[in-house]
Amino acid sequence: MNKTILITGGAGFIGSHVVREFVNKYPAYRIVNLDALTYAGNLENLKDIEDKPNYTFVKADITDAKHIMEVFQEYKPDGVIHLAAESHVDRSIADPSAFVMTNVIGTVNLLNAAREIWKNDFEGKRFHHVSTDEVYGTLGETGLFTEETAYDPHSPYSASKASSDHFVRAYQDTYGLPVVLTNCSNNYGPNHFPEKLIPLCIHNILNNKPLPIYGDGKFTRDWLFVIDHAKAIDLVFHQGKNGQSYNVGGFNEWQNIDLVKELCKQMDEKLGRPEGTATQLITFVKDRPGHDLRYAIDATKINQELGYKPSVTFEQGLSITIDWFLSNQEWLDNVTSGEYQSYYAKQYN
């Protein structure tokens, strides 16, 4: 093994795709997946690669500074790709503290551990922080987020991610830690936890339950297929410049209501139900407080400097995603039992 890469949050939605990409593509790397296995972490996501010789799982909570330091001392990673986070805006509105603990304090604990084991010898070392476009706040009807857009977070989630981004940059500026950041738009794809819009609607269509649309449904997001995000992380981790941020997007903006209608159409087709069956489930509900109107990414920098572009169209990605959920209903049943039920009742009833 010529390098050890520690990936945090590797049992989550995006993290599991990043772990798979690295384990399969780089057999000469040792990939250490560090995850606390919260409600959002699930080792079922990694069944296909768990026996690979270059893969190791470590259960650890990034808020536990002492344990994190021990893990770093034991595995001595050359690179860190940091995805572990509390990631759902609605949960951050209900309980901001968990977001401060994991997203801010947890990130600082990882930065300290990296600094400690790398001393001042940064040759071949890199800390890649995975962040979101939500740190930029909201756009009006026009315009795009660039890497120069000023931070203006509105939700407790985006405020915690913005704070973590600032700490990552501060460690580069103050201690010379070699860092890169990626700020990505909304992901979708296999293994997406059904608290987020797309998998929640897939789950509800399967169960003939209402599809809750916040406010008037005209809120706009840019959607990127999760495997394309994993490929962008690979590219930036290996070829990005130290101290730089790269926006990652799908060139794929949808108003929520149009997106859900498209999803309904594809679901009806795939389930052999008459057209219009699923749209009847659409239900407008109370808006999310502080709801950002529009996110949209200008991905020129990663495109021109690193040659990145998404590999699938939205229609293809959505079709792959629905097919995955239809073939993995046991996964869906498992993750929606237990805690999910009480979360759902509190959020939507």
Residues that bind ligand TYD (CB under 6 A): 89, 186, 196-197, 200, 212-214, 219, 221, 256, 288
Determine how β-strand 282-285 pairs with β-strand 211-214: parallel
Closer to ligand NAD by CB, 11 or 113: give it. 11
CA–CA dist 233, 34 (Å, integer) = 17
Which residue bears the tokens 């009847």? 280
Report how far apart, in Å, the C-alpha atoms of 218 and of each of 194, 215, 249, 331 are: 21, 8, 20, 31
* DSSP code for 135: G
Q: Is 235 in the site for ligand NAD (CB under 6 A)?
A: no
The dihedral formed by the CA atoms of 303, 299, 21 and 33, expressed in degrees to the nearest 10: 130
Q: Is 231 in the site for ligand NAD (CB under 6 A)?
A: no
* CB neighbourhood size of 343 (10 A): 17
Q: Is 132 in the site for ligand NAD (CB under 6 A)?
A: yes
C-beta of 123: minimal distance to ligand TYD in Å? 37
C-beta of 343: minimal distance to ligand TYD in Å? 11
The binder of 62, among ligand TYD, ligand NAD, none, by C-beta within 5 to 8 A per type, is ligand NAD
Q: Which one of the listed residues 78, 134, 222, 234 is annotated catalytic?
A: 134
Applying CB under 6 A, the site for ligand NAD has a residue count of 30
111 burial type by CB count under 10 A (0-12 exposed, 13-18 middle, 19+ buried): buried
Is 157 marked active-site? yes
Is 133 marked active-site? yes
List the interface residues with ligand NAD, window 10-49 (CB under 6 A). Answer: 11-15, 35-38, 40-41
Using the rule CB under 6 A, which residue among 7, 71, 162, 184 binds ligand NAD? Answer: 184
* DSSP code for 120: T
CA–CA dist 58, 32 (Å, integer) = 7
Site string for ligand NAD, 59-78 (x = CB under 6 A): --xxx---------------
Residue closest to ligand NAD, measured at CB? 12
The binder of 278, among ligand TYD, ligand NAD, none, by C-beta within 5 to 8 A per type, is none
CA–CA dist 206, 225 (Å, integer) = 22
Q: Which one of the listed residues 61, 133, 222, 234 is annotated catalytic?
A: 133
CA angle (206 as vertex; 289, 313 as ends), nearest 5: 75
Closer to ligand NAD by CB, 249 or 281: give it. 249
Query: Largest Cα–Cα distance of the chain, in whole Å?
Result: 64
CA–CA dist 19, 206 (Å, integer) = 29
The binder of 256, among ligand TYD, ligand NAD, none, by C-beta within 5 to 8 A per type, is ligand TYD
C-beta of 305: minimal distance to ligand NAD in Å? 20
Q: Is 155 in the site for ligand NAD (CB under 6 A)?
A: no
C-beta of 213: minimal distance to ligand TYD in Å? 5
CA–CA dist 123, 314 (Å, integer) = 39
Chain CA centroid to CA 255, Å:
20
* Residue 91 structure tokens: 């949960």
List the interface residues with ligand NAD, window 84-123 (CB under 6 A). Answer: 84-87, 102, 106
Q: Which one of the listed residues 29, 136, 157, 295 is annotated catalytic?
A: 157
CA–CA dist 122, 133 (Å, integer) = 28
CA–CA dist 323, 187 (Å, integer) = 17
Is 134 marked active-site? yes
Q: Is 187 in the site for ligand NAD (CB under 6 A)?
A: yes
Closer to ligand NAD by CB, 43 or 122: give it. 43
By CB under 6 A, name the binding residues for ligand NAD. 9, 11-15, 35-38, 40-41, 61-63, 83-87, 102, 106, 130-132, 161, 184, 186-187, 193
- Catalytic positions, written as ranges: 133-134, 157
